[in-house]
Amino acid sequence: MSDVNLLLTRIDNRLIHGQVGVTWVNHIGANLLIVANDKVSEDEVQQNLMDMVLPDVIQTRYFSLQKTIDVIHKASPRQKIFLVVRDVHDALKLKEGGVPIDFINVGNLHYEEGKKQISSTVSVDEKDIEAFKRLDELGVELDLRRVPSERGRNIIDLL
């Protein structure tokens, strides 16, 4: 088992797009972007669309949550990993499954009926709030910010 070189975990319901694929990848120096999501891990069309956003030097993997839990500890130390998940529930499942997540960038959770907006890009419901609080209890730092140049805020303070 190697030490996982997990640079950043981001919650973004858009998964890979320009902000993630260019701005964040360059800012943290990642060379491997893992999307951990059960649906996307089986959707080649969506994977190909997301790959088009990324520079050629970035490798991508599209894993189910369980596969991410099973293989993340086998990563080479050369792999500088940027882990992207669609929502807080996926992040919590990964953390509880043993993925070494200590810091999460909360970037984007779209508004839907029944959710309250807590920032310009993040809306949550009661189940989301419970999951964020559980991650906080597990010692995960929860930093709300869209782009690296923005000043981050602890999402727990906004719930």
| pLDDT, tens digit (0-9, with 9 covering 90-100), for 97-139 | 999 999 999 999 999 999 999 999 999 999 999 999 999 999 9
For residue 1, what pLDDT is reported?
Answer: 42
Which helix H or strand E contains 60, and what residues bound it? strand 59-63
Runs of H (alpha helix) within the chain: 18, 25-28, 44-51, 65-71, 88-96, 126-137
The average pLDDT across 2-11 equals 90
Helical packing angle, 126-137 and 88-96, nearest 10°: 30
For residue 17, what pLDDT is reported?
Answer: 87
- Is beta strand 81-85 parallel, antiparallel or unpaired with respect to 32-36? parallel
For residue 18, what pLDDT is reported?
Answer: 82
Domains of the chain in start order, with CATH, are: 6-158 (3.40.35.10)
Higher-confidence residue: 77 or 1?
Answer: 77
pLDDT tens profile 44-79: 999 999 999 888 889 999 999 999 999 999 999 999
The residues that are catalytic are 17
Q: Is the pLDDT of residue 2 over 70?
A: no
